[in-house]
């Protein structure tokens, strides 16, 4: 089965990802792409606690994920690729095309970001990165849960 979801969510592994998306999509594995988390055994253990035993949680840096994506795309299980920020997802999309679509899930407020949706705050630079990805053919949508309507990139400007 393919990677069913490429998602940016700054909370990474939590209930909305594991239950809200994972259950309806029948996710068998989650690839958490984050160089810092991959380097921290303590953080990896924390995230493992949030995933049920039937779901494999894989930790990878950007380059490692790019190298392994062809195999994960060919895996018999449904997969979810997760990053904490738009920059990491953009790096991954550029390093391992094709990524057909990216879901913006939980990108929360921090200095310099402005409200685009109740669960999406973006800086101008982040919006430009997303627009650049869209120009390469990646469909960008914001959607907090699979039961809500996706919002296209044009509505986030």
Could you give the angle at the alpha carbon of 61 between the alpha carbons of 104 and 19, nearest 5°? 45
Q: How confident is the model at residue 1 (pLDDT cuts 50, 70, 90)?
A: low
* CATH fold of 3-156: Fructose Permease (3.40.35)
**Which residues are registered as beta bridge partners of 103?**
7, 141
Task: Give the model confidence (pLDDT) of 19-30 as tens digits.
Answer: 999 999 999 999
Quote the CA–CA distance of 31 and 85 in Å, as a whole number: 14
Q: Can you give the residue ranges of every domain in the chain?
A: 3-156
Question: What pLDDT is recorded for position 122?
Answer: 97
Q: How confident is the model at residue 157 (pLDDT cuts 50, 70, 90)?
A: confident
């Amino acid at each position: 089965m393919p990677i069913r979801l490429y998602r940016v969510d700054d909370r990474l592994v939590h209930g909305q990802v594991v239950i809200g998306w994972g259950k309806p999509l029948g996710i068998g594995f989650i690839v958490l792409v984050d160089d810092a988390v991959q380097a921290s055994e303590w953080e990896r253990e924390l995230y493992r606690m949030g995933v049920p035993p039937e779901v494999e949680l894989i930790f990878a840096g950007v380059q490692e994920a790019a190298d392994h994506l062809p195999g994960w795309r060919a895996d018999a299980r449904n997969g979810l690729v997760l990053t904490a920020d738009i920059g990491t997802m953009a790096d991954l999309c550029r390093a391992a095309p094709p990524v057909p679509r990216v879901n913006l899930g939980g990108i929360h407020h921090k200095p310099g970001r402005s409200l685009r949706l109740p669960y999406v705050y973006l800086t101008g630079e982040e919006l430009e990165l997303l627009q650049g990805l869209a120009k390469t053919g990646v469909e960008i949508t914001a959607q907090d849960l699979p039961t809500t309507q996706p919002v296209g990139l044009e509505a986030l400007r």
